[in-house]
Chain A
Amino acid sequence: MTMQAASTEIASRTAAIVQDMKGLEGPLLPILHGIQEEFGHVPQASLPIIAEALNISNAEVHGVVTFYHDYRSHPAGRHVLKVCQAEACQSMGSDAVAAKLKQLLGIGFHETTKDGSVTLEPVYCLGLCACAPSAMLDGEVIGRLDDEKLDEIVAEVRS
């Protein structure tokens, strides 16, 4: 697909999402969630279309997108692994869990493996504080992480 065709494609899919949600009260976050779900990230090309439809400036949309940790400017890997690094998990060794995952995957936080299989991210609390240390793999929750479970996770994201 040429660059222009790609951006036309983004524009039309963005417009459809915006059209669908613009009647909501305070529609910007739901729209951005919808766009991220559609594209796996929030493409730059979507921003002016949103701004135009909501009658706000590009800068405002840009400001909102960049404020929130969830919105990505680039697509993530095929899997997204979020490892809790908050206090309850710290008390159960989440530092060591993160270190081991980084070593097994060969990447740091906020990085994606070269083969695009997985993105590793820290998360500050999954509400699984009585089952620490915990993680979330593509929306599935995993508690009481131990070496065995970490190996399973790594095997799954590599398969």
Chain B
Amino acid sequence: MIPRIYIPGDSGALALGAEKVAKAIANELAERGIEAKIVRNGSRGAYFLEPMVEVATAAGRVAYGPVKPSDVKSLFDSGFLKGGHHKRWLGAPDKIPFLAKQTRLTFARCGINDPLSLDAYKSLGGLKGLQNAVAMAPADIVKQVTESGLRGRGGAGFPTGIKWKTVLDTADERKYIVCNADEGDSATFADRMIMEGDPFVLIEGMAIAGIATGATKGFVYIRSEYPHAVAMMNKAVEVARKAGVLGVNVLGSPNAFDMEIRVGAGAYVCGEETSLLNSLEGKRGVVRAKPPLPAIQGLFGKPTVINNVISLASVPVIMDKGAAFYKDFGMGRSRGTIPIQIAGNVKQGGLFEAAFGMTLGEIVDDIGAGTATGRPVKAVQVGGPLGAYFPRALFDTPFDYEEFAKRDGLIGHAGITVFDDTADMLKQARFAMEFCAIESCGKCTPCRIGSTRGVETIDKIAGGIEPEKNIALVTDLCNTMKFGSLCALGGFTPYPVMSALTHFRDDFKPAPVAEAAE
């Protein structure tokens, strides 16, 4: 058997030098006259081990990482093609603690094989969900998704099945499935990883959504900052079309479904669903007032399912293994699994899919293993730029939509940014307002003007100008933004600001050093 070497083509791995490693391995193979097949897989998500190279041996896969180009010669010398020992040796990838502790449902296949091999996809259970779906009545598919308890993974947490039911029940000759792949929140990369590492699961999920609701056309709106994901999705759609997964007869059934990949143009607010629809229509990405709901009047005024990548990519496993199987994971009203993205100043950063219910402390301290700098953790921001900053005192909060809401936070798209004790929380609060000002679509006043005034007022606090009065002003402003904005951009910017103010008040005191220097 020709040895197979797996080198991730995922952009996270590429950012850490996977391409150079691939070249070095190819050169070494040529130089030594060894015949081997190099497979470019996705990433399994343990970014602290990337580039993680795997070889297929008689006893299964053996992983090495993080591999540097300078390691390649010695890897060959150590007989890595047969799993030989080396300082980068990690053993069987699924035994690596960071990966072994996970519950991989949505990411079950991500990073294992060539993302564009439909055979590899099928060999690991792919397309079973869609096969089941084409034999079912639309209402039964919707029922199964509803019963699974799946909620929108983009951040809002709205029950996916309910959304689908509205579209199913709204009669129209044309309906759409829109996938929100405008993953703009810092600390999130789950959508990117799926699109680059297991694109067929998203395509399968969208096809199921189409059959369930009577929609025949899908769009994936991917942000322009993700060129690798765009390229991969375009190729995967081609493969799926040729194989009859997409087209006029999905898997040979009478159901038609096809899709197009569209690219955003650098506007964060287009991650908001109604802005995204406007953008797809070729308009400015301004927010629409709701109602009408997109499920009734969405893209081009037609009934539209708009779901996040992870919501749609979680559907195939639900249709394959059943609603009860999925619902069995999790806690409270947060059912199933959630891909937690551990990022920022953290020793073991990466994607960790787990059932809902782990505490924030377990995620940061046990899974993430503390900060990369080795300093104490000061704060973690959960849910991207619109999420709250949590101090260590709240690390007992379980990962659950309602539990986070109880503590004035949100899980959002489940990204976690870790900050060490050098972080200045006033600066972070200011950034939240500044970011809102840069990205505001301008439609509603609290967001458009409030964000700019917020920056100015926080600057006054930093400058020691009437700090108590200005803190009260920021608090009042946050209240206006929270309740007066049309969408989550203006409405949630208060989360990082107020949490910084509430939990890290010391950082908002005027710096005594600056006064002494004058």
Give the contact stretch, choosing among B135-143, B258-266, B289-297, B484-492: B258-266
The chain B residue sitting closest to A84, CB to CB, is B186
B300 to A26, Cβ gap below 8 A?
A: yes
The chain B residue sitting closest to A87, CB to CB, is B186
Q: Does A88 contact B (CB under 8 A)?
A: yes
Q: Does B183 contact A (CB under 8 A)?
A: yes
B188 to A131, Cβ gap below 8 A?
A: no
Q: How far is the CB of A141 from chain B (nearest CB, A)?
A: 4
Bound CA–CA A130/B264 (angstroms) = 23
The contact of A26 among B263, B280, B345, B385, by CB within 8 Å, is: B280
Q: How far is the CB of A23 from chain B (nearest CB, A)?
A: 12
A89 to B186, Cβ gap below 8 A?
A: yes
**Interface class of chain B by DSSP:** mixed
Give the contact stretch, choosing among A5-13, A27-35, A73-81: A27-35
Central interface residue in B282, B341, B384, B441, by most chain A CB within 10 Å = B282
Give the contact stretch, choosing among B159-167, B391-399, B414-422: B414-422
Q: How far is the CB of A21 from chain B (nearest CB, A)?
A: 11
Contact with A along B327-348 (1 / 0, CB 8 A): 0000000000000011111100
* Residues on the A chain within 8 Å of B154, using CB: none
Q: How large is the interface on A (under 10, 10 to 19, 20 to 34, 35 or more residues)?
A: 35 or more
Give the contact stretch, choosing among B221-229, B311-319, B400-408: B221-229
Q: Does A64 contact B (CB under 8 A)?
A: yes
A29 to B350, Cβ gap below 8 A?
A: no
A127 to B16, Cβ gap below 8 A?
A: no
Q: Does B234 contact A (CB under 8 A)?
A: no
Q: In the complex where A67-B267, A91-B344 touch, is A131 in contact with B187 (Cβ < 8 A)?
A: no
Question: Using a CB–CB distance below 8 Å, which chain A residues touch chain B?
Answer: 24-30, 32-33, 54, 60, 63-64, 67-71, 82, 86-92, 123-132, 134, 136, 139-144
| Given A125-B186, A131-B50, 16 extra CB contacts under 8 A | A25-B260, A29-B265, A30-B262, A33-B263, A67-B284, A67-B286, A69-B265, A70-B264, A82-B225, A87-B417, A87-B431, A88-B186, A88-B187, A125-B225, A136-B225, A143-B16
The 10 closest A-B pairs by CB, nearest first: A28-B282, A130-B349, A143-B15, A129-B343, A68-B265, A86-B186, A69-B266, A91-B344, A130-B47, A70-B266
